Amino acid sequence: MKLKDILSETYGSLSANKARSMLTMLGIVIGIASVIAMVSIGNGAKASIQSSIEGLGSNLLTILPGVVQPGRGIVSSGRGSAQTLKNTDIEILKALDGVAAVSPEDARRFQIVASGNNTNTTVTGVTPDYAGVRNLNIAEGSFISDANVRSTGRQAVLGATVATDLFPDQDPFGKTIRINKINFTVIGILTAKGGAGFSGPDDMIFVPLSTMQKILSGDDYLSTIAVSVSDKNNMSEVKELATNALLDKHRVTEADFSIISQEDILGTLSTVIDTFTLFLAAIASISLLVGGIGIMNMMLTTVTERTKEIGLRKAIGAKKSDINMQFLSEAVVLTFIGGFIGIVLGWLICFVVTSTGIVKTQVSLSSVLLAFGVSAAIGIIFGYYPARRAGMLNPIDALRYE
Amino acid sequence: MIEIKNITKTYKTGDVEFQALNNMSFTINDGEFVAIMGPSGSGKSTLMHTLGALDSPTSGTYLLDGKDVSTLSDDELANIRRDKIGFVFQAFNLLPRTTVLRNVMLPLVYAGVHGTEREERAKKALLDAGMDEDHFHHMSNQISGGQIQRVAIARALVNNPSLILADEPTGNLDSKTGEVVMGTFQKLNKELGRTIILITHEQDIAEHADRILFIKDGELIQDTSNHKKRIIKL
């Protein structure tokens, strides 16, 4: 029997009972559509969480002085207090392949006074690269410039929280604050960044790095070097390059610094979201399974209903395999069409979800292919048993069947 | 040519054995029109199933055109039915919701005949069986009982079988339509030289054949030539 003949027989018998074929197909349609929608929403959620982590700087390597020893905790002097990172390290890091920008930072706590208000907060000496590397936005004025750094200027940029602490009722822009009894002019205010955990930029004051080192702290050590990597996929390579370069520069074999990558954090989150997506897809798969059972149920009914027809076909010369193929193809065609409609429906659901703006969904080709494969497999698995029953019917009994 | 030698068929239901055919032998030559007669329970149906390669005998041999059919597997029997035997049943002869033409083409689908040849052969068989061309595309449930039997005869003819096997073909028809169907069989036998075996329990239907085999209790009682054959002019 040629494929064309099988398909034309299949079309004939499926269209003979349109309502039943449609309802059976609906089970597969809903199953496939929900799998596609769930996986796409999961992927969308993953992408959106990834992009918000990247907003915090996921392509960031943070180099700290001192050693973080796994298992034994931080060395007794405390992270950041060791004095091993210097200004001379910056040029070496900048020269490495794959490094987009380097932001040397020197942070200390000082007492700050402004128009009668008094607060104690972190003052960070930075270069202009800081804003880019840490993804900061300026609400008013400008960030620390190259000229400020070169001239060891007395300029300060306030984080959003500090700005309201020091100047509750007035615009701080252009006002003077006193850090460690030295006057600084406020040249910019940052937009609030929100919960970035410990030492967030909202609660910081930024001054030129040169001013910090020469006037406020009086030494040329750095508390942190933030390195932004141009390609997120090269994080580990760049981390290794940076480690080797700094080991060379410091002429040591045991690292006197630590490099922390945000990629590790991102990796953990991705795993969590993947598990979540898998969980959603598994629930959706249950409806697919129920749809498959619906197909089997309908096929078994069909075989019983058409017992006489099977007998007639066999009397005319149909072999077991001919009957088998015919009924199997009915099941497979049902699931295939159902699968196709399900993919379209799933895609529409994703489109609606995206346009409501809850999650930006991503329909991946792999989930579509998977859905198609699964629906074909369901047709074969759940169509096999009824088809086999049809093929095994004895022609004499089938012809006599009432 | 059909050669039946010492055929026996025994059915077992639990401990009870029932002998449907008991050591039966006969020969039917090509081009013969034979009626097999007998009351119900005589073994007619079992004999028809055996002759039609739907079932294998318990013992004995059945040679169809010299080939032993009595020992074949299910799939080989299906091939014999496809290539050598055409069936006309009493009822449920056609696929429902299917056109007349497609019904007749069905054996050719299984025989692997494709395209225009399939359609040409089906049309010719329908014309041979006395169907009008304007009924070819009617659905099988839109035609009369007599027409259904003619379509069934056309379908039995279409793959040029050695044997056309008709099981009570007029059982569901009124006598006038039945005459027409019998006339069709006679015409095919006379003009196309087809071998036809007719299974019936009615004497006057059997009298349309040239030879009558009478069966009772699984045994062949009588094998006579029919001298008072009823000839139907169509």
**What is the per-residue pLDDT for B100?**
93
Residue of A nearest to B91 (CA): A399
Query: Do β-strands A73-74 and B2-13 pair in parallel, antiparallel, or remain unpaired?
Result: unpaired
Q: Which residues of A51-72 are buried (b: 16+ CB within 10 A; e: fewer)?
A: eebeebbbbbbbbbbbbeeeee
Query: Chain B closest CA to A305's CA: distance in Å?
Result: 12
**What is the per-residue pLDDT for A39?**
87
Q: If you average pLDDT over residues A25-52, what whole number do you get?
A: 86
**What is the per-residue pLDDT for B208?**
93
Q: A136 and A213: one domain? A: yes
The pair of three-digit structure tokens given for residue A35, joined into one six-digit string: 């799998």
CB contact under 8 A, A309 and B78: no
How many structural domains compose chain B?
A: 1
Query: Do β-strands B2-13 and B59-64 pair in parallel, antiparallel, or remain unpaired?
Result: antiparallel
Q: Within a domain: residue B96? A: yes
**A72 has pLDDT over 70:** no
Task: Give the residue carrying structure tokens 């030295």.
Answer: A182
**B218 has pLDDT over 80:** yes
DSSP B113-143: --HHHHHHHHHHHHHHTT--GGGTTSBGGGS
**What is the per-residue pLDDT for B2?**
92
From CA A247, how far away is CA A2, in angstroms rounded? 73
ipTM of the complex: 0.92
> Is-contact B110 A320, C-beta < 8 A?
no
Q: Is residue A92 classed as helix, strand or coil in its secondary structure? A: helix
Q: If you average pLDDT over residues B115-136, what whole number do you get?
A: 91
Residue ranges of the alpha helices (H) in A154-261?
Answer: 160-166, 209-211, 235-250
The pair of three-digit structure tokens given for residue B203, joined into one six-digit string: 């004497």
Q: A114 and A33: one domain? A: no
> Tell me: the pLDDT tens digits for A265-317?
677 778 888 888 888 888 888 888 888 898 899 999 999 999 999 999 999 99
From CA B143, how far away is CA A393, in angstroms rounded? 29
**A171 has pLDDT over 50:** yes
The pair of three-digit structure tokens given for residue A251, joined into one six-digit string: 């002429």
**What is the per-residue pLDDT for A201?**
76
Q: Which residues of B touch A (CB under 8 A)?
A: 49, 52, 54-55, 74-75, 78-79, 81-83, 87, 89, 92-93, 95-98, 102, 106-107, 109-112, 114, 155, 159
Residue A55 pLDDT class (50, 70, 90 cuts): low
**What is the per-residue pLDDT for A194?**
62
Q: Indicate which of B56, B95, B108 best probes the interface with A, i.e. most A CBs within 10 Å of its own CB.
A: B95
CA A243 to chain centre: 28
Q: A124 and A179: one domain? A: yes
Q: Indicate which of A316, A321, A326 best probes the interface with B, i.e. most B CBs within 10 Å of its own CB.
A: A316
Q: If you average pLDDT over residues B158-182, what whole number do you get?
A: 90
Q: Within a domain: residue A74? A: no
Q: Within a domain: residue A287? A: yes
> Is-contact A111 A254, C-beta < 8 A?
no
**B80 has pLDDT over 90:** yes
Nearest to A12 among B54, B74, B98 (CB): B98
Q: Which residues of A touch B (CB under 8 A)?
A: 1-2, 5, 9, 12, 16, 308-309, 312-322, 395-396, 399
**What is the per-residue pLDDT for A392?**
92
Q: If you average pLDDT over residues A213-222, what whole number do you get?
A: 85
Q: Which residues of B touch A9 (CB under 8 A)?
A: 109
Which stretches of A127-266 are assigned E, i.e. beta strand? 138-141, 155-158, 176-179, 182-190, 204-208, 224-229, 257-261
Q: If you average pLDDT over residues A47-55, what whole number do you get?
A: 75
Q: A224 and A283: one domain? A: no
> Tell me: the pLDDT tens digits for B3-60?
999 999 998 888 888 889 999 999 999 999 999 999 988 989 899 999 999 989 999 9
Residue A262 pLDDT class (50, 70, 90 cuts): confident
Phi, psi of B63 (to 5 degrees): -100, 120
Q: What is the DSSP letter of A222?
A: -
Q: A221 and A272: one domain? A: no
CB contact under 8 A, A2 and B114: yes
Q: Which residues of A touch B83 (CB under 8 A)?
A: 317
Q: Within a domain: residue A223? A: yes
Q: If you average pLDDT over residues B160-178, what whole number do you get?
A: 90
Q: What is the DSSP letter of A248?
A: H
CA B13 to each of CA A381, A395, A402, B23, B43: distance values in angstroms, whole numbers, following the listed order: 35, 19, 21, 20, 16
**B91 has pLDDT over 80:** yes
Q: Within a domain: residue B64? A: no
Q: Is residue A301 classed as helix, strand or coil in its secondary structure? A: helix
Q: Within a domain: residue A246? A: no
- Tell me the CB-side half-sphere exposure of residue B6, using CA atoms within 13 A: 2
**What is the per-residue pLDDT for A58?**
61
Q: A118 and A212: one domain? A: yes
Among A228, A250, A280, the domain boundary falls at A228
Task: Give the residue carrying structure tokens 């910019």.
Answer: A188
> Tell me: the pLDDT tens digits for A362-374?
888 888 888 888 8
Query: Chain A closest CA to B226's CA: distance in Å?
Result: 30
> Tell me: the pLDDT tens digits for A77-119?
444 456 778 888 888 888 888 888 899 998 888 888 887 888 8
From CA A259, how far away is CA A241, in angstroms rounded? 11
User: Which run of H or of E encompasses A29?
Assistant: helix A18-55
Mean pLDDT for all residues in chain A: 85
**A209 has pLDDT over 80:** yes
Q: A388 and A290: one domain? A: yes
Residue ranges of the alpha helices (H) in chain B?
Answer: 44-51, 74-84, 100-111, 115-128, 145-157, 175-191, 203-206
> Is-contact B171 B90, C-beta < 8 A?
yes
How many structural domains compose chain A?
A: 2
**What is the per-residue pLDDT for B121?**
94
Residue A167 is part of which domain span?
Answer: 102-228
CB contact under 8 A, B81 and A396: no
Residue A165 pLDDT class (50, 70, 90 cuts): confident
From CA A162, how far away is CA A109, in angstroms rounded? 13
> Is-contact A242 A97, C-beta < 8 A?
no
Q: Give me the count of residues in chain A.
A: 402
**What is the per-residue pLDDT for A77?**
46
A18-55 and A365-392 helices cross at what angle (nearest 10)?
Answer: 150
Residue B162 is part of which domain span?
Answer: 31-54+79-225
Among A228, A253, A279, the domain boundary falls at A228
**A245 has pLDDT over 90:** no
From CA B67, how far away is CA B73, in angstroms rounded? 14
Q: A209 and A144: one domain? A: yes
**What is the per-residue pLDDT for A69?**
53
Query: Chain B closest CA to A396's CA: distance in Å?
Result: 7
CB contact under 8 A, B107 and A320: no
Q: Is residue A23 classed as helix, strand or coil in its secondary structure? A: helix
Q: Within a domain: residue A106? A: yes
**What is the per-residue pLDDT for A195?**
53
Q: How many CB atoms lie within 10 A of CB B51?
A: 22
Q: Within a domain: residue B95? A: yes
Nearest to A316 among B49, B74, B110 (CB): B110
The pTM of this model reads 0.69
Q: Within a domain: residue A391? A: yes
Could you tell me how many CB contacts below 8 A there are between chain A and chain B?
63
From CA A398, how far away is CA A308, in angstroms rounded? 5
From CA A176, how far away is CA B181, in angstroms rounded? 117
CATH code of the domain covering residue B144: 3.40.50.300
Q: If you average pLDDT over residues A347-358, what whole number do you get?
A: 88
